[in-house]
């Protein structure tokens, strides 16, 4: 700051990791962020930006940022925030509202833009997005005479039975996602609830999870463990455990983030290179819905360089830099154009699926007490998945807990 | 400083005349020499405790009509405490209380037995003794978080533990297997600590005592029961007390090894941490204060009931009263009292 540093950014590269550290640690080449930072510093030698890395896991990052605001420290100027933190940060005055007109929000994916607002005010500019996809083994499906990936859960289960009946598919498990009790379970549980036509909270943020649809959604996972189309050990899976299993050829279908695509197609530790593809997540009666991931950039309330910080955010979240980040770190961009770019589509075959996934994505509950809401969802889903409660009972309890947390 | 410096010299000069015994002067000198230490202790231990207790009476957050957090701390009286004992929070608290106590009792008992056995082995004269001693201490030297990660891999669904057992136990899921994982990892790490302290205690026992017992025809078991155990008791009790306090505050091992939000391994420390992560510092402080009180209570009871000599001043005091120095050792042997 002494040299007039304009924008100190808490660990953007791994800000991927702030979403991703929850979701995965292995996917964060900080190079992408540093590259953008270097470009900025070269152009603005009088307003140098410096990267401040925060702890690995998302909860600690969130806590650091809130504490920083509570002590009114000007240590950070620009904050890289998880898309689910906007409400909490805005309500706790961690971030200041930004001038909405100065950002090309109409050129961005709508669900992403929705994550930037609290009480209709714009608090953080979208810098990257993320959505879940269904990874499937093309070789195994082909071997069983299946041409298209499943669109519904029933199709998925039927496909598994066909594949497992072939010699190549013998002993390969059917499906897995992220079911360990952590943020990933919130994501997966929300997705199946949405995929069956239910919802965790309605548009006004009111909890609405005690419904037959929501129970049917959760039952897809519960029955998976009971009937065996989800392997027992999947209850301990986070992103990386699941990736290991998929790469070892132990899964036919898997719900996972885009980051796995390049790694599973890489040269190291993967047996499925060139043998898989991605599809939108299936649902109860048709395509399901992903939970939305990603990161936004906001300005700390106590920043001493708000003007430069705003310039920096505009620069960092520009289309040009998002394209660079996609190429460098396969970070999902927020600009619609980039998904329609033919050259990029050829290079990243998952782009259209990812765009559909993000466009159909449902945000996780936008509540001020997000941490508590997420914990409540995890408690309920975990109890159902491990068989201590029925889906309906678990969701009933969740409804009353969320009502208390949101105060609605 | 310039003014303060001469003062002790002057006062000391005056005092010299009044000194009744060299002991008293030494006491004064000791007090002066130690005062910086006490000052530091007050700053780094006393003050945070007081601030923590203060925080536990305050609350932060809450939304105003505009949808923004109310700024600053608001005095909340005893509400943070009473809230702990109501409804679902009470269940969670008592569960954590039970888990903490369970871990403490089970871990410390197992560790004491294994640690003492380790010490007895290490105390024997045999070839490669120093090697054994060093290797036994390695687990203790590894930071808890690192050993938690290590055991996390061992207890992975496809990890070594399941390979050895030829079974797929999902250790990191909620349940008794998770508790066992924590107990195993904790024992592995800290039994050597008890072993080390007991070994120190064993090494001051004179060999002649055993020789005398041997001549009297005492069996090995009897010698252990009536000589080793009573003589090693002061060291053992201190070791057990330290371990007890550590286990009561256990956080990193269950948190990393099994994960948060699993009731079967949720200790009081984890509960406090979870509250603070969700920026409810008042309730977090209240949990911490309750844990602190529980810790103090148990430590006090332990010292009172079992006579653990933690500070190391009990012996001279007793010696003075009874007028016989080194009475503690002699008395214990004579009576052969058991802990």
pLDDT tens column, A275-289: 999 999 999 998 898
Residue B261: its pLDDT value, please? Answer: 86
State the nearest Cα–Cα gap between B70 and chain A, in angstroms.
8
pLDDT tens column, B111-151: 999 999 999 988 887 788 888 888 888 999 999 999 999 99
Nearest residue of B to residue A69 by CA position? Answer: B71
Indicate yes or no: CB of A119 within 8 angstroms of CB of B259.
no
State the nearest Cα–Cα gap between B107 and chain A, in angstroms.
25
| Residue A153 sits at the chain B interface (C-beta within 8 Å) | no
Nearest CB to A182; choose among B60, B259, B279:
B259
Which has more confidence, A267 or A18?
A267
For the ranges A338-347, A360-369, A378-387, B166-175, the one whose mean pLDDT is highest: A378-387
Across A47-63, average pLDDT? 81
Nearest CB to A236; choose among B60, B170, B277:
B170
Residue A403: its pLDDT value, please? Answer: 94
The pTM of this model reads 0.82
pLDDT tens column, A179-230: 999 889 999 999 999 999 999 998 888 999 999 999 999 999 999 999 999 9
Predicted confidence (pLDDT) at residue B24 exceeds the cutoff of 90: no
Residue A408: its pLDDT value, please? Answer: 77
Predicted confidence (pLDDT) at residue A1 exceeds the cutoff of 80: no
Q: Which residues of A52-80 are buried (b: 16+ CB within 10 A; e: fewer)?
A: ebbbbbbbebbbbbbebbbeeeeebbbbb
Residue A71: its pLDDT value, please? Answer: 86
Predicted confidence (pLDDT) at residue A136 exceeds the cutoff of 50: yes
Predicted confidence (pLDDT) at residue A261 exceeds the cutoff of 70: yes
> How does residue B330 score in pLDDT terms, banded at 50, 70 and 90?
very low
Residue A179: its pLDDT value, please? Answer: 95
* Mean pLDDT of the residues in chain B: 83
| Residue A404 sits at the chain B interface (C-beta within 8 Å) | no
CA distance B299 to B237: 11
Chain centre distance of CA B281: 25
| Residue A93 sits at the chain B interface (C-beta within 8 Å) | yes
ipTM above 0.90, yes or no: no
Q: For residue B106, how many other CB atoms are within 10 A of its CB?
A: 17
Chain B residues near residue A62 by CB distance under 8 angstroms:
277
Q: What percent of chain A is modeled with pLDDT above 90? A: 60
* Mean pLDDT of the residues in chain A: 87
> How does residue B310 score in pLDDT terms, banded at 50, 70 and 90?
low
Nearest CB to B168; choose among A233, A375, A382:
A233
Classified as helix, coil or strand, B306 is helix
Predicted confidence (pLDDT) at residue B328 exceeds the cutoff of 90: no
Backbone dihedral angles phi then psi of residue A108, each to the nearest 5 degrees: -105, 165
Q: What percent of chain B is modeled with pLDDT above 90? A: 53
Residue A4 Rama label (left phi>0; alpha psi -120 to 50; beta): left
Predicted confidence (pLDDT) at residue B319 exceeds the cutoff of 70: no
Closest CA to A89 of A41, A52, A124: A124
Chain centre distance of CA A352: 17
Which has more confidence, B331 or B75?
B75
Residue B113: its pLDDT value, please? Answer: 96
CA distance B321 to A61: 59
State the nearest Cα–Cα gap between A371 and chain B, in angstroms.
6
pLDDT tens column, B31-63: 899 999 999 999 999 999 999 999 999 887 777
Predicted confidence (pLDDT) at residue A341 exceeds the cutoff of 60: yes
Predicted confidence (pLDDT) at residue B178 exceeds the cutoff of 50: yes
Across B87-96, average pLDDT? 91
Predicted confidence (pLDDT) at residue B327 exceeds the cutoff of 60: no
Residue A264: partners with Cβ closer than 8 Å, 6 or more residues away: A135, A243, A246, A247, A270, A272, A273, A276
> How does residue B257 score in pLDDT terms, banded at 50, 70 and 90?
very high
CA distance A183 to A58: 9
Residue A367: its pLDDT value, please? Answer: 85
| Residue A66 sits at the chain B interface (C-beta within 8 Å) | yes
Predicted confidence (pLDDT) at residue B245 exceeds the cutoff of 70: yes
Predicted confidence (pLDDT) at residue A330 exceeds the cutoff of 80: no
pLDDT tens column, A7-53: 444 333 333 222 222 223 333 445 567 778 888 888 888 888 888 88
> Which position has the token pair 């533990």?
B161
> How does residue B20 score in pLDDT terms, banded at 50, 70 and 90?
low
A-B Cβ pairs (cutoff 8 Å, strict): 65
The DSSP output letter for B206 is -
Nearest residue of A to residue B278 by CA position? Answer: A371
Check if the beta carbon of residue A152 is closer than 8 Å to that of residue A253: no
Residue B123: its pLDDT value, please? Answer: 87
Q: DSSP string covering A67-108, please?
A: HHHHTT--S-SEEEEEGGGHHHHHHTTSB----GGGS-GGGB
* Ranges assigned E (strand) in A212-368: 251-256, 276-279, 292-299
Which has more confidence, B327 or A311?
A311
Predicted confidence (pLDDT) at residue A6 exceeds the cutoff of 50: no
Residue B138: partners with Cβ closer than 8 Å, 6 or more residues away: B192
Check if the beta carbon of residue A32 is closer than 8 Å to that of residue A95: no
Predicted confidence (pLDDT) at residue B243 exceeds the cutoff of 70: yes
Which of the residue ranges A94-98, A137-141, A295-299, A365-369 would you say has the lowest mean pLDDT? A365-369
> How does residue A143 score in pLDDT terms, banded at 50, 70 and 90?
very high
Q: DSSP string covering A136-204, please?
A: EEHHHHHHTT--S--SBHHHHHHHHHHHHHSTTTTT-EEEE---SSSHHHHHHHHHHHHHTT--SB-TT
Nearest residue of A to residue B153 by CA position? Answer: A241
pLDDT tens column, A146-176: 999 999 999 999 999 999 999 999 999 999 9
Residue B309: its pLDDT value, please? Answer: 65
């Amino acid at each position: 700051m002494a040299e007039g540093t304009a924008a100190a950014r808490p660990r953007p590269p791994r800000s991927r990791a702030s979403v991703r550290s929850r979701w995965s640690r292995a996917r964060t080449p900080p190079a992408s962020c540093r590259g953008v930072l270097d470009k900025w510093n070269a152009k603005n030698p009088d307003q140098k930006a410096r990267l401040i890395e925060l702890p690995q896991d998302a909860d600690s990052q969130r806590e650091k940022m809130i504490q920083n605001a509570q002590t009114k420290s000007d240590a950070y100027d620009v904050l890289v925030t998880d898309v689910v933190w906007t409400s909490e940060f805005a309500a706790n005055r961690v971030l200041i509202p930004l001038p909405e007109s100065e950002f090309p929000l109409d050129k961005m994916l709508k669900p992403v833009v929705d994550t930037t607002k609290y009480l209709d005010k714009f608090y953080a500019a979208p810098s990257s997005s993320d959505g879940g996809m269904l990874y499937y083994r093309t070789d195994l499906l082909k071997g069983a005479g299946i041409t298209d990936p499943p669109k519904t859960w029933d199709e998925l289960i039927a496909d598994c039975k066909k594949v497992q009946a072939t010699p190549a598919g013998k002993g390969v498990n059917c499906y897995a996602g992220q079911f360990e009790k952590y943020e990933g379970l919130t994501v997966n549980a929300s997705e199946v609830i949405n995929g069956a036509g239910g919802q965790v909270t309605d548009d006004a943020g009111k909890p609405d999870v005690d419904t037959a649809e929501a129970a049917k959604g959760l039952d897809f996972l519960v029955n998976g463990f009971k009937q065996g189309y989800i392997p027992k050990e999947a209850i301990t899976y986070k992103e990386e455990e699941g990736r290991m299993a998929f790469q070892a050829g132990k899964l036919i279908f898997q719900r996972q983030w885009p980051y796995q695509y390049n790694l599973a197609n890489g040269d190291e530790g993967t047996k499925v290179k060139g043998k898989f593809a991605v599809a939108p997540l299936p649902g109860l009666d048709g395509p399901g819905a992903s939970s939305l991931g990603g990161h936004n950039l906001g300005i700390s309330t106590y920043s001493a360089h708000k003007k430069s910080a705003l310039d920096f955010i505009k620069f960092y979240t520009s289309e040009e830099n998002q394209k660079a980040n996609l190429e460098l770190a396969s970070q999902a961009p927020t600009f619609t154009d980039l998904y329609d770019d033919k050259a990029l589509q050829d290079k990243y075959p998952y782009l259209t699926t990812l765009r559909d996934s993000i466009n159909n994505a449902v945000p996780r509950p936008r509540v001020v007490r997000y941490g508590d809401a997420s914990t409540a969802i995890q408690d309920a889903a975990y109890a159902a998945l491990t068989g201590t409660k029925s889906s309906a009972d678990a969701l009933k309890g969740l409804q009353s807990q969320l009502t208390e947390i949101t105060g609605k | 400083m310039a003014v303060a410096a001469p003062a002790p010299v002057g006062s000391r000069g005056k005092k010299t005349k009044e000194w009744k015994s060299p002991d008293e002067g030494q006491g004064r000198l000791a007090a002066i020499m130690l005062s910086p230490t006490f000052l530091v202790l007050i700053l780094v231990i006393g003050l945070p405790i007081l601030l923590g207790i203060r925080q536990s009476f305050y609350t932060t957050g809450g939304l105003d009509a505009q949808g923004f957090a109310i700024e600053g701390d608001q005095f909340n009286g005893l509400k943070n405490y009473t809230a702990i004992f109501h409804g679902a929070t009470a269940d969670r608290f008592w569960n954590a209380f039970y888990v903490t106590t369970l871990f403490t009792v089970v871990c410390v008992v197992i560790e004491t037995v294994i640690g003492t056995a380790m010490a007895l082995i290490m105390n024997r004269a045999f070839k490669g003794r120093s090697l054994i001693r060093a290797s036994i201490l390695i687990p203790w030297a590894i930071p808890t978080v690192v050993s938690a990660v290590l055991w996390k891999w061992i207890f992975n669904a496809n990890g070594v533990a399941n390979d050895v057992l030829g079974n797929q136990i999902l250790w990191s899921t909620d349940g008794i297997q998770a508790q066992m994982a924590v107990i195993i990892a904790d024992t592995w790490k800290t039994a050597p600590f008890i072993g080390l302290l007991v070994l120190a205690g064993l090494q001051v026992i004179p060999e002649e005592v055993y020789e005398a017992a041997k001549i009297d025809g005492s069996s090995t078991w009897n010698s252990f029961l009536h000589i080793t155990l009573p003589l090693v008791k002061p060291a053992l009790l201190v070791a057990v007390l330290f371990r007890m306090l550590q286990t009561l505050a256990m956080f990193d091992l269950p948190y990393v090894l099994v994960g948060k939000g699993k009731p079967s391994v949720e200790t009081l420390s984890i509960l406090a941490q979870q509250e603070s992560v969700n920026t409810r510092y008042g309730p977090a402080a209240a949990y911490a204060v309750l844990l602190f009180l529980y810790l103090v209570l148990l430590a006090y009871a332990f010292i009172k009931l079992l006579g653990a000599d933690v500070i190391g001043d009990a012996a001279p005091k007793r010696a003075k009263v009874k007028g016989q120095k080194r009475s503690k050792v002699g008395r214990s042997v004579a009576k052969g009292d058991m802990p």
